[in-house]
């Protein structure tokens, strides 16, 4: 019973770490990449659709991204969604492709991004701690109901704490890497 609880908690913590990695990837550093646009939603025939499903991406230069829509009818909708996004991008449309040139990051903007990354990292850690709390409640309930002994419950809690610490350490490492990437000029 306790092993199942620990396994479930570990799987959920792994998902929280993956979600943090995806969130970090959407925050812009010096180079333009397609993952910056993963959260951009386009109003495509009345339905909000992720940009990644509507177009292909090419990266000819460090700060330039070429977006080629699969359906030319969506060209203006994609351009509008990019313009409305918080990326600070100014897309230009030549009738076939959309060229997005991302502006150079200022020091002030870099510091804003660092704050945003720290907030996302803290959100991920909170999610991991919430998973830990629920798993601990499950272990305590098992011990209380007599499904597991007190020693087994104590070992389970110790193992849960180790897994929680390892996952929060991963988040801290990801944060440190992203922070140095952002502050690098």
pLDDT number for residue 12:
92
Per residue of the chain (185 residues), what is the pLDDT tens digit? Answer: 778 888 899 999 999 999 888 888 777 666 667 777 777 888 888 888 888 888 888 888 777 888 888 888 888 888 888 888 766 677 888 888 888 877 777 788 788 888 888 998 999 999 999 999 999 998 888 888 888 788 888 898 899 899 999 999 999 999 998 888 877 76
DSSP symbol at 106: P
- CA-based radius of gyration for the chain: 22
- Please state the pTM of the whole predicted model: 0.68
pLDDT number for residue 74:
81
Element (H, E) at 165: helix 150-183
Round to whole Å and give the CA distance between 85 and 92. Answer: 14
Round to whole Å and give the CA distance between 48 and 82. Answer: 13
């Amino acid at each position: 019973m306790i092993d199942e609880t620990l396994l479930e908690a570990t799987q959920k913590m792994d998902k929280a770490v993956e979600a943090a990695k995806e969130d970090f990837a959407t925050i812009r550093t010096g180079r333009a990449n397609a993952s910056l646009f993963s959260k951009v939603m386009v109003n495509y025939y009345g339905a909000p659709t992720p940009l990644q499903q509507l177009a292909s991406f090419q990266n000819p230069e460090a700060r330039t991204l070429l977006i080629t829509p699969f359906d030319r009818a969506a060209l203006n909708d994609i351009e509008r969604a990019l313009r409305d996004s918080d990326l600070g991008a100014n897309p230009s449309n030549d009738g076939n492709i959309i060229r997005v040139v991302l502006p150079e990051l200022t020091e002030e903007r870099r510091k804003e991004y660092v704050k945003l990354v720290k907030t996302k990292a803290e959100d991920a850690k909170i999610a991991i701690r919430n998973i830990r709390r629920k798993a601990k409640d499950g272990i305590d309930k098992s011990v209380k109901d007599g499904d597991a002994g007190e020693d087994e419950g104590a070992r389970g809690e110790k193992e849960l704490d180790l897994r929680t610490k390892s996952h929060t350490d991963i988040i801290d490492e990801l944060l440190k890497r992203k922070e140095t990437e952002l502050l690098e000029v």
